[in-house]
Structure 1
Amino acid sequence: MSTAVIFVAELGDKSQLMAMTFAARYRVRDVLIGITAATAIVHLASVGIGYWIGDAFADQQHWISIVAGVAFLGFAAWTLRGDELTDDEADKARTSQGAAILAVGVAFFLAELGDKTMLATITLATQEGWFGTWVGSTVGMVAADALAIVVGAVLGRKLPEHVIKYGAAALFALFGLILIIDGVRIAL
């Protein structure tokens, strides 16, 4: 059940856009490893929250949304700053498996904090067993993002890098502003 719920919740989510962006810059395998690791950690925390704390987390949703929004604005700036890399540095970033996995993992971890898939996982864990919810939600999210990875890898071969970079920065900034506005709206 959690696989299907999270797969559907992830469709069209900002995480899929991140997956496409990263897949255009890094090896697909590295992106998938980073996403899987981050998702497993976030969803383990989510089921723990859902199982042990229940709805106490909902009271802090506005702060999580604001912090995630600020992080996304940071991702936008970071994406634009990457434009200044030399060709040699860009090649190292593309070929460095550890750096790519770490970059993707950290970005996904931060992006998923307070996200609808995290909240859906918390909700499922309050009603279902924690282990099945954790495994199912992780599989559902990775499967949905794998679709985006394939699209990103194909686009990365067809679009100029500067188009991908500016597009990704604009999307990160847009989602950051939406998250901040949503957090402020919830707080009021």
Structure 2
Amino acid sequence: MSSIVQGFTKSLAMTVLSEIGDKTFFAAAILAMRHPRRLVLSGCLSALIVMTILSVIVGWAAPNLVSRKWSHHITTLLFFSFGLWSLKDALFGDGDTEELAEVEAELDKTWKANNGAKKNSNKVDDDLKKNKQRPLFSQFFSPILLKAFSITFFGEWGDKSQLATIGLAADENPFGVVLGGILGQALCTTAAVVGGKSLASQISEKIVALSGGILFIVFGIQSFLSPVES
């Protein structure tokens, strides 16, 4: 039971500190300004849950493909690497302004290509009317939901938080890691959809990156000092 709690706690803390101000966080926030929030939340959260489960499965299977000793050492190295990466971003990065601008530019490009020069407010009204007229089941296949899902899923693929989740699942109880990861993703995605852009502007990106870096370093030290389970 203690191993599940430890995996849950580590995964929850790591996910929250990794996802606040992340590209997918901003993408969810911007999409929610243009489309019905429940569809954006459903699409983004579904993608993150699938990604978390896949990452944990890979991490859980890793010791069966590589020796437990090597998977433990790789996990320790990942934690230290991500910790130094986050600390570097905190000390020398440009904050979230550049990342937000990049995400907005990418979404605007897609937006213009798909919708021409329509005003955002009119588009939102049209989306709301169309989705209200659809049966509940068919809304699960809404282009908006699928768009939110695909942007989030591929945005997270190979991201620092995904690789960290794989490493964490290789070293901790996978069930606890799944629960903590899903709860963390749910909290961050809900915050992004409800008021992500304004929330991100009030939270210092450097503080978040610094906290995340320290957390990863702590995980790395703990992993380094822990004996390798046979």
TM-score (structure 2 length as normaliser): 0.53
| 2:144 equivalent in structure 1 | 100
DSSP 3-state at the match of 1:18:
helix
Q: Does 1:126 align with 2:165?
A: no
Alignment of 1:2-151 (within 5 A): 2-53=11-62, 77-84=109-116, 86=118, 91-94=125-128, 95-96=130-131, 97=139, 98-151=142-195
Point out where structure 2 has 5 or more consecutive residues left out of the alignment. 1-8, 64-70, 75-102, 132-138, 200-230
Change in Cα spacing, 1:154 to 1:8, as seen in structure 2 (3 Å) is closer
Equivalent residues of 1:24, 1:152 under 8 A apart: no
Which structure has the larger Rg over C-alpha atoms? Answer: 2
Compare the two structures and name the one with the higher helix fraction.
1
Change in Cα spacing, 1:52 to 1:76, as seen in structure 2 (3 Å) is farther
Give the counterpart letter for 1:110 in structure 2. F
- Rounded Cα–Cα distance in structure 2 between residues aligned with 1:92 and 1:44: 35
Report the count of equivalent residues.
142
Residue 76 of structure 1, CA deviation: 5.5
- Rounded Cα–Cα distance in structure 1 between residues aligned with 2:143 and 2:117: 15
Residue 153 of structure 1, CA deviation: 8.3
- Rounded Cα–Cα distance in structure 1 between residues aligned with 2:108 and 2:115: 12
The percent of aligned pairs where both chains have the same amino acid is: 29
- Rounded Cα–Cα distance in structure 1 between residues aligned with 2:196 and 2:188: 13
Give the counterpart letter for 2:43 in structure 1. G
TM-score (structure 1 length as normaliser): 0.63
Point out where structure 1 has 5 or more consecutive residues left out of the alignment. 57-71, 156-188
- C-alpha RMSD over aligned residues: 3.1
DSSP 3-state at the match of 2:158:
coil
Residue 149 of structure 1, CA deviation: 1.4
For residues 126-184 of structure 1, what are the alpha-carbon distances to aligned partners after superposition, in whole Å with 9 as ceiling and x for unaligned?
111222211211210221122221225889xxxxxxxxxxxxxxxxxxxxxxxxxxxxx
